[in-house]
Amino acid sequence: MVKHLLCLADWTSEEILETLSMAEKLKYENKNGIRHNHLLKGKTLGLIFSKASTRTRVSFEVAMYQLGGYSLFLSANDIQLGRGETMADTAKTLSRYIDGIMIRTYRQSDVETLAECGTIPVINGLTDSYHPCQVLADLQTVKEKKGKFKGLKLAYLGDGNNVANSLLIGCAKVGMDITAATPEGYSCDPVAISRAQEAAAETGAKVVLTTDPIEAAKDADVVYTDTWVSMGMEEEKEKRVQAFMPYQVNDELFSKARPDALFMHCLPAYRGYEVTDSVIDGSRSIVFDQAENRLHAQKAVLVKLMG
Ligand code: CP
Ligand code: NVA
């Protein structure tokens, strides 16, 4: 059976932890001059993008290059998908040419169709519902900085979006406590919440949902936020800014966390909205380590699925 990465809930805790160990090893070896260009020699990954990207696009392209493979950037507007060819026919066609697909799009169901109808691994590079590659890199970063997951509390503040949904599941799977504080009407997806609770029941992690940003930040080891206006929601910006201002990660809110708490953000950041310059540029911000780890974590995913 072909293995995919559509949502972290589909992977066992063991699979996630193994992938993180592999990512750590690949990062360490790469920094010590060990090349990995034999691991995906001759393999091709297609990268379908219906939304903008800096980190995901560049880290996947560089990852394939460093693993000895090749990547094809396929802007959804420039392939027939953008003119109405179905996801199913796209999946069947691409399966005849390439060895894997990474897709960034709107509907999670489109990513699922691609996986069901094709015969090659599919990687979710962000949908409206989930962002699993981001959260694997985030977990790698937490492990690197704090040395463990158990006994830590991550506070997510802001929009209950794709990143938040994947964080709930990812933290629960590795046994790290998570509290998500979102305004009324902007909470995480109920399916993601129940998937996280299911995983938490196995690992003993605590999954807490609240509307109170101070309760969430209190005693946190990691404070995480993301944009209040995800791609595709631009017309809601004004309304959202009103609702989200109390969740801004500024010095005051960050001071409720533990004194050694770290600040995380998947980027791109909208400074002055979800986070202030003082926090994101401060000494406890690890946002560029997260961005770097996209490369290492995704290499581990690519080797697992396509190696
Ligand atoms: N964090 C993230 O996925 O960034 P990009 O949108 O730049 O890919
Ligand atoms: N929640 C954001 C993440 C961007 C990487 C969005 O979907 O736009």
Digitized pLDDT (tens) for each residue of the chain, 307 residues in all? 999 999 999 999 999 999 999 999 999 999 999 999 999 999 999 999 999 999 999 999 999 999 999 999 999 999 999 999 999 999 999 999 999 999 999 999 999 999 999 999 999 999 999 999 999 999 999 999 999 999 999 999 999 999 999 999 999 999 999 999 999 999 999 999 999 999 999 999 999 999 999 999 999 999 999 999 999 999 999 999 999 999 999 999 999 999 999 999 999 999 999 999 999 999 999 999 999 999 999 999 999 999 9
Residue 258's pLDDT is 98
Cβ pair 228, 249 in contact under 8 A: no
- Other residues' Cβ atoms within 10 Å of the Cβ of residue 307: 12
Residue 303's pLDDT is 98
Closest-approaching ligand to the CA atom of 163: 2
Shared fold status for 8-131+291-306 and 134-290: yes
* Sign of the dihedral through C-alpha 209, 214, 215, 217: positive
**Residues whose beta carbon lies within 6 Å of some atom of ligand 1:** 53-56, 126, 134, 266-268
CATH code for the structural domain at 8-131+291-306: 3.40.50.1370
Q: Where are the domains of the chain?
A: 8-131+291-306, 134-290
Q: What are phi and psi of 168, to 5 degrees?
A: -55, -50
**Candidate list 7, 99, 110, 134, residue with the active-site label:** 134
Closest C-alpha residue for ligand 1 atom 3: 56
Instruction: For residue 104, give the ligand 1 atom closest to its CA.
Output: 8
Residue 301's pLDDT is 99
Is the domain 134-290 a CATH 3.40.50.1370 member?
Answer: yes
Residue 55's pLDDT is 98
CA 272-284-24 angle, to 5 degrees, is: 115
Told to judge if 271 belongs to the known catalytic residues of this protein, a careful annotator would answer: no
Told to judge if 55 belongs to the known catalytic residues of this protein, a careful annotator would answer: no
- Residues 163 and 189: their CA atoms lie apart, in Å, by 11
